[in-house]
Structure 1
Amino acid sequence: MTAFVLVSGPFTGGWVWQEVVGRLRAAGCEAYGVTLAGMDGGGGQEVDLEAHIGDVVRVVDRVGAGEEVVLVGHDYGIHPVLGAADRRSGRVARVVYLDAGMPGDGDTALAAVPDAAAVEGAGADGLVPAPRGDGWRRWGSTAGLGEADLERLDRLAVPQPVRTLTQPLRLTGNPFDRPTTGVLCTANGSGIGMVELLVATGPTRYRVLADPRVGFFELDTGHWPMLSAPGPLADVLLRAAKDEGRRLSVPEHGGEFLLDVAERPRERRGRIDLHLPEADGPRPAVLFVHGGPVPSDQRPTPRDTPTFLGYGRYAAAWGVVGATVDHRLHDLTDYPQAAEDVAGAVELLRADPRVDGDRIALWFFSGGGLLSARWLAEPPSWLRCVALTYPVLAPPPEWRVVDPRFRPAEVVGASSPPVVLTRVGLEHAAFAATVEEFVTAAGKAGAELDVVDVPLARHGFETLDHTDETREAVERAMRSVGARLNA
């Protein structure tokens, strides 16, 4: 028999699992919705993460010796779940990450809190006030929740002891040294396709997600599926216990750039790298702007990844200075900071004597596409072209905390510089919708738009999809940018 131990995110307790527990028990399983210390409305100012880990351990210890224990951690709940799994490694058969991050030894839950201002506003009593009404949206998508669900959250939620969010998680082993399942709530902004991209192009720590013991499911709902979709969630948990779920793999090419380009002299100047062509005199330049958000501790940083090393070298092969920038888009609230980093990189680039400062192109990727808004709205005379590759061009609904200045689809117009847009056919639905919004707006405004369609390519195709189609798309986009730089 399987015993599910269910641990919820901040401000909630075992009550939030009521419907899911009923369905799991009806399927013949044991199920326990855990109310952690201090989460019963009784205060708990001194409660910390270790206390919550102890709570989960005690539940595990009550489960019969012949039962397989599946620990389910939602949001913050993954921290005490991983701590308990570490302390009772011989008893835990599987860990389920339910719309949760990937904390490791030494990580705090605070690092992943979407509403840091709420935590900073914790009172002298050491408690973070529970959100109310629309405030729940700052902690995750409320898609799928009805008025009764939101009223229930408001009525039953309690303050979160701040020390549970600030005390580091301590682990003695690898969290992925056991069967693991990730359940992604797509309305909250993440799906299996995004995880595949991280495995293929992100930091090497994500490669563990391609372990055959790791499976994935998606739920088409918001961040509280135990309330918005208890039936589908229970079904997914039962399937996870049977070791079902989609498996991922590392691309055979190992994340290499899709074109074989020769290395060129590279010079590092602050946040930018210059890939220099074989040429006499000042040359036009293109600044490649990565997407994000990218964790501040990601290594290698974007400019040292195969994608941006590849683009920088490829530009240099075309006789153009290929510049790459590491900007500080680490969180959805960081767009203003990242925009200043890009502007500073442009100044450094234009001031370099090997660069023709009157012939510059800016090339944006993925979530970095929102940073193009400033340049599309008020283009300087030296900006010959803006290129966009699988971009985000308006904040998706779940990105509601993004500064309203970063909406390219709302500012593109006839006075914008020429735009070269590389559009992938296998795009994430939320991102594809923003691209279509931009294309429609550009058409109505009479903007100059060159669209490079890649029907069978995915977001991040440079390291995911090595095909003739994708190689031709990169060549065509570079040719289009080069023509405008040399016009």
Structure 2
Amino acid sequence: MTDFVLVAGAWLGAWAWDEVAGELRAAGHGVHALTLSGLAERQGQEAGQRTHVQDIVTEVERRGLRDVVLVGHSYSGVPVGQAAERIGDRLRRVVFVDASVPVDGESFLSGWPSDDVRRSIEEHDGFWPPLTAGEYAGQGLSEAQIAALVAGGTPHPGATLAEPAVLERPLAELPATYVKCLLDGDEPMPPVAVLLKSERWEGVTMDTGHWPMLSRPGELAQVLMRASAGRV
């Protein structure tokens, strides 16, 4: 049995993993979907980048988990990648689902045209507002799935996006799988492309959009289980 710790991206909470979690549990695995501070049911809690890293480390240590597969989607790849280093021999593998990866000294907003996001955070009292229904178009989602994302999305604490990552050792040393969702672009971001050249990193693609936990939950669960076994 593997213990999967699932962390969704910006605006989302543990609820986004419900279908994937059900598939993993049915296969006999332990599943711990985590809502990061300041989001969903944890709105109102102050949060920065280091807070989110500690949220993940605390979840693993509090539950006494071992043989852990950490899964980070989108934004949460940044804190998940840092937490993966900090849990030591408890880690079996880290899986990045169409995610950003931490780069030492850089933030989630570094390395891509993020001026609009920074301006939006300033205009919304330090929070990044959730996407509207129209902004989810073209990502392989049904109307019901888009409605769930809109209803469940909460403003994302801007400090978590702007604070720099701190890596204790090269990310390429971690056993990792990167899942690229093709409707969100064919090519991974440059830092990911470099990491995929590492002997310890493997890549897999899914023919769906940026939120595969909703659009293809069964397929994503299979990808996660294969990754946990070192097979992609």
For the criterion TM > 0.5, the same-fold answer is yes
Quote the residue 2:156 is aligned against: 160
Match of 1:134 in 2: 134
Q: Tell me how far 1:102 sits from its aligned partner.
A: 3.3
SS in 2 for 1:164: helix
Aligned to 1:181: 177
**1-structure distance, mates of 2:37, 2:101:** 23
Q: Secondary structure at the match of 2:31?
A: strand
Contact 1:38 1:45 in 2 (8 A): yes
- What residue in structure 2 maps to residue 216 of structure 1? 203
- 1:187 Cα deviation after fit: 1.1
Question: Contact 2:79 / 2:102 at 8 angstroms: preserved in 1?
Answer: no
**Offset of residue 87 of structure 1:** 1.7
- 1:64-83 matches, within 5 Å, as 64=64, 67-83=66-82
User: Can you list the C-alpha shifts for 1:288-331, whole angstroms capped at 9, x where unaligned?
Assistant: xxxxxxxxxxxxxxxxxxxxxxxxxxxxxxxxxxxxxxxxxxxx
Letter in 1 for 2:37: A
List aligned pairs for 1:237-252, cutoff 5 A.
237-245=224-232
Letter of the 1:174 partner, please give it.
P
Query: Using the alignment, how far apart are the partners of 1:69 and 1:27 within structure 2?
Result: 16
Between stretches 159-168 and 45-54, larger displacement belongs to 45-54
Which residue is equivalent to 2:118? 119
- Listed one character per residue, the Cα deviations across residues 21-64 of structure 1 (whole Å, up to 9, x for unaligned) are 00001111111111001102554473111111111011111344
State how far apart, in whole Å, the 1-side matches of 2:173 and 2:102 are. 14
CA RMSD between the two structures: 2.2
| Structure 1 residue 208, shift from structure 2 partner | 4.1
Q: Are 1:170 and 2:169 an aligned pair?
A: no
- How far does residue 178 in structure 1 lie from its aligned partner after superposition? 2.1
Q: Which residue of 2 aligns with 1:473?
A: none
Q: For 1:63 and 1:45, locate their aligned partners in 2 and report how far apart those are by CA, in whole Å.
A: 21
TM-aligned CA deviation for residue 236 of structure 1 = 0.4
Unaligned 5+ segments in structure 2 are none
In structure 2, relative to structure 1, the CA distance for the partners of 1:111 and 1:88 (3 Å cut) is same
Q: TM-score, normalized by length of structure 2?
A: 0.91
Give the Cα separation in 2 of the matches to 1:26 and 1:113. Answer: 39
SS at match of 1:71: strand
Can you list the C-alpha shifts for 1:409-462, whole angstroms capped at 9, x where unaligned? xxxxxxxxxxxxxxxxxxxxxxxxxxxxxxxxxxxxxxxxxxxxxxxxxxxxxx
**% same residue:** 40
The 1:143–1:136 alpha-carbon spacing in structure 2 relative to 1, beyond 3 Å, is: closer
Unaligned runs of 5+ in 1: 246-487
Match of 1:10 in 2: 10
**Partner Cα distance (2:209, 2:195) in 1:** 26
The answer as to whether partners of 1:57 and 1:88 remain within 8 angstroms in 2 is yes
Aligned residues of 2:2 and 2:67 also touching (Cα < 8 A): yes
Q: TM-score, normalised by structure 1?
A: 0.45
Number of matched residues?
231
Separation in 2, partners of 1:224, 1:114: 21
- Looking at structure 1, the residues matched to 31 and 45 of structure 2 have their Cα atoms a distance apart, in angstroms, of 28
Corresponding residue SS for 2:94: strand
Secondary structure, counterpart of 2:139 in structure 1: coil
